[in-house]
Amino acid sequence: MVGLSEGEKHFIRGGIAQDLRADGRRRLQFRSVSVETGVIPQANGSARVRLGATEVIASVKAELGKPSILHPDKGKVSIFVDCSPTAAPMFEGRGSEELSTELSVALQRCLLGGKSGAGAVIDLSSLIVVDGKVCWDLYIDGLVISSDGNLLDALASAIKVALSDTGIPKVNVSLSAATDEEPEVDVSDEEFVQFDTSSVPVIVTLTKVGKDYIVDATSEEESQMSSAVSVSVNRHGKICGLTKRGGAGLDPSVIFDMISVAKHVSQQFLSLLDSEIASAEAAE
């Protein structure tokens, strides 16, 4: 990321204080969002989301696997993010590992819930095929193609859209298998089960610059932040996860305020995303 001079930083801080950012947006406005589904035909579901100049692709792949011994009645979901060097030359080689890990962990925390699987957004028990023997493993992969700030929000929305585009094939289990052997499963090519993504949350990152918070920061604005709070909120207004980045300490009242602002903004963003999903599906 290119550095900024003192004069430019001053200008950005002034803009945020006066509610007129460098590209004319208000503090709580998102950049224009564009959504496309089905970009990776080989995957079970995929989406590409463009948030201003930030572009990310998310894909969902489902494979049959064995459930873990601790939870024989639940499927498994894992989320990984990779930053492509096409986004910035510094991402080549191992340069992107730190950022990728940070994004993956934040997404896992917001979407997958705790270690016990409780509170996960996708109903894991719907992924089970045969109790204790066969389940669906969902691999959700995110790829950052172009980066201009606010990667977490873009990735979360891409994952939401990809999940809405995902179809898990119907499985017919042959009933004649004995209890100890591996049951035979017949994966159908024709019938698919769609996910219900109405409860998948979306992440809104609030970046604090000076005394005010902004939504959807560009990479220049992000360089000015003292701290950032990412809140994942679903349609019912419930908070599904929270991450704070940045070294500056925040007063607890400030955090509560940021959470309520995030809830308010997320509802607008959710409806915008839903309408984009609907129009994308209609266009296909």
42 interacts with another protein by CB under 8 A: yes
The footprint of another protein on this chain (CB under 8 A) covers a number of residues equal to 57
Q: What SS3 state is found at 208? A: strand
Report the residue count for the chain.
284
Residue spans of alpha helices (H) in the chain: 6-17, 97-112, 151-165, 219-222, 252-283
Question: C-beta of 201: minimal distance to another protein in Å?
Answer: 22
Q: Which residue among 28, 47, 88, 262 contacts another protein (CB under 8 A)? A: 88
The angle at the Cα of 212, spanning 101 to 251, to the nearest 5 degrees, equals: 75
Of 253, 140, 169, 160, nearest to 203 by C-alpha is: 160
Tell me the per-residue interface mask from 119 to 158 with another protein, x by CB under 8 A, - otherwise: --------------------x-x-x-xx-x----------
Round to whole Å and give the CA distance between 205 and 128: 33
Stretch 11-40: interaction string toward another protein, x if CB under 8 A: xxxxx-xx-xxxxxxx--x-xx-x----xx
Closest alpha carbon to 231 in 221, 223, 239: 239
Q: Is 175 in the site for another protein (CB under 8 A)?
A: no
Out of 41, 247, 249, 252, the only residue in the binding site for another protein (CB under 8 A) is: 41
Stretch that binds another protein, among 7-15, 188-196, 230-238, 239-247 (CB under 8 A): 7-15
The alpha carbon dihedral of 236, 241, 246, 252 has a sign of positive
249 binds another protein (CB under 8 A): no
Closest CA to 155 of 118, 107, 187: 107
Q: Are 263 and 235 in contact (CB under 8 A)?
A: no
241 binds another protein (CB under 8 A): no
Q: What are phi and psi of 264, to 5 degrees?
A: -65, -45
In the complex, the smallest distance separating the C-beta of residue 151 from another protein, rounded to whole angstroms, is: 14
Q: Which residue in the set 57, 163, 229, 242 belongs to the binding site for another protein (CB under 8 A)? A: 57
Stretch that binds another protein, among 82-90, 101-109, 123-131, 258-266 (CB under 8 A): 82-90
Shortest distance, CB of residue 37 to another protein, whole angstroms? 13
Q: Is 43 in the site for another protein (CB under 8 A)?
A: yes
Answer yes or no whether residue 6 interacts with another protein by CB under 8 A: yes
d(CA 58, CA 49): 8
Buried b (16+ CB within 10 A) or exposed e, 145-165: eebbbbbbbbbbbbbbbbbbb
- Work out how close the CB of 179 gets to another protein at its nearest, in angstroms, rounded to a whole number: 29
Q: Tell whether residue 247 is a contact of another protein (CB under 8 A).
A: no
* Site for another protein contains 63 (CB under 8 A): yes
Cα end-to-end distance, the chain, whole Å: 37
Residues forming the site for another protein (CB under 8 A): 2-8, 10-15, 17-18, 20-26, 29, 31-32, 34, 39-43, 46, 53, 55, 57, 59, 61, 63, 80, 82, 84-89, 92-94, 139, 141, 143, 145-146, 148, 279, 283
